[in-house]
Structure 1
Amino acid sequence: MLKRYALILLAAVTGLFVLTARADYQPVAQKVVDNVYAIVGPLGLRSAENDGLNANFGFVVTPKGVILIDSGASLLGAKKIEAAIGKVTRQPVRWVINTGSQDHRWLGNDYFAGKGTEVIAMSRTAATQAEFAGQHMQSLGRFLGKRVQGTKPLPAPKTLPDSTTLEIGGETLMLAYTDAHFSGDAWVWLPQRGVMFSGDLVYVDRLLGVLPWSSVKNGQKAFHALAALKPAHIVPGHGRVCDLAQAQRETGDYYDFLAGKVGAAAKEMEPIDATLDRYADVPQFGHLENYSELHRANMSRAFTEFESQ
């Protein structure tokens, strides 16, 4: 009887350990090129298990400190990102650059700013952060519960004009607006490295989302501009680090589909329901995660955007 009880207790403790491990997602840095790293988050939803880190982040190690691309969705998320960086280098995070205004791009700003880090974003990015701060904090509370406590929204204090080139830590970084997923979204391009941090312009492995605030027109235009740069490596907003060919198949082609098929139908004033039914099944994108949940809503919002122009 005692032996049986001990086995049951061991199983319970083991199960508890597994649940605890799953609930304590730890981001890991992966090398892209020398001194440039990506942190690839899970493809699923924000949750207390991942502290809202269901997106990609990145950093550049320089002799003068680390340049961090996006700061995480919360105080705890920012600390986890910092811990992942600490396993690569002892250099402190000296600069944070926000590529967007969605929660996981910037709600860790306050944590890093409190350590003396300079937090930077394009001017419209910071303005959109301020506009959506309350809404994002409320939404995160539903996903993260008590784990969002201590998180303070801090729109990027240092703002930059359109199409800016930064020289920091001996690195050249070019920032440009994409305005695709949210107004003020931007990319960070490292021309000397051939590495593009696309922000939420590029999704691979999962279908991109067209939100009420998104613009398919801007997304298509921005992706064409990105492709013209011919990056060797792309750190997308979501999904694995990839090359341009994969980004084209899974994001660029989808923007072209939404604009070229759904948008064209809207311009011709075809009925929206008939259009959505006609393109309900697009096999070339069907393998992407979240396709069944997002595809029809994406088309509907694309139709509305093109219809109103």
Structure 2
Amino acid sequence: MLTQRQIDIFKAIVDEFTRTAEPVGSKTLMSLLDFHCSSATIRNEMAVLEDVGLLEKTHTSSGRIPSRKGYRFYVEHLMEKELDNEVKHSLQQVFNERHYSMDEIVRKSCDILSQMTHLTSVVLGPESKYQTLQHIQLVPISSRSAVAIFITDHGHTENKTFHFDTDVSVKDLKTCTDLLNDKLCGTPIKDVVEKMQEIEPLLAAQVARHEVLFEAFVSAFMKFASDKVYCSGQSNMLYQPEFSDINKLREVMKVLEDSSLFRQLANHEGNVAIEIGGDNELIQVDDMAVVSSKFHLPGNEEGQLMIIGPTRMQYNRVVALMEYMSKAIEDLYKQKE
């Protein structure tokens, strides 16, 4: 059981180290603590915190840094989430600027998170491939372009703009749409492309420019069925002292370049993961920390925001920002219903 003084010293070390990336010594702590304590007493307390596994000694300094166990203890028991009103107001203005599509909301959220945390952000959008196709609507824009609207049984809507190499008549667009609705309604999104291959001969028999329309729809459905994984701020890793080792940086970049790894991180199999209340989690993977926050959408769908950075990150601000963004995304999705 830690004393209040030990807790205060430990919290001061975490706050200072996440700010500076420099090991914290007893002399620095004397100026940070709200109470008077001699340098010798602080060193003794730091030794106790090291013995229980919350602090580590570095090779290059007499100061201490938080251990992985220490960060978990801080997040579970000591963290006070901080997000000032000015930041909240800025975020509200961004999303109120105009009406974003659902795709844009997810991408915008990803960019904002990376800019505000100076870390790498990932957004896992809802996995539409597990839904079934309910309806297709095709709206002509010109003789060479149209907007397709796909609606699933969960009410999820996806828009796709088609640009054709040759003129396509309104009659062909309508015939194609009617045929696809007749043959594909009720088909799982993940099976639509395969089923389209089966109905291509029917399309060829009824539509003059069927090749152009067929290729456009197959491309759109492949995009619709794929995992929506958006990543922003990968280069922010270059500026983190922890990744100054080029080999370590290469390993991190491999993770960031492989979108399938993000789903694995979200499921945190084999990794240390703790809940941070509600839908938030901290996952520790080697020298990296991943803070994740789920957002819930209509039709029992869910997506996930993730911040990836060094174990040393300002968890209080990161978690508060992600909670706020998750709520903003949920509210915007509700407005789209």
Bucket of the pairwise TM-score, normalised by the shorter protein: under 0.3
* Structure that is richer in helix per residue: 2
> TM-score if structure 2 supplies the norm length?
0.22
TM-score by length of 1: 0.24
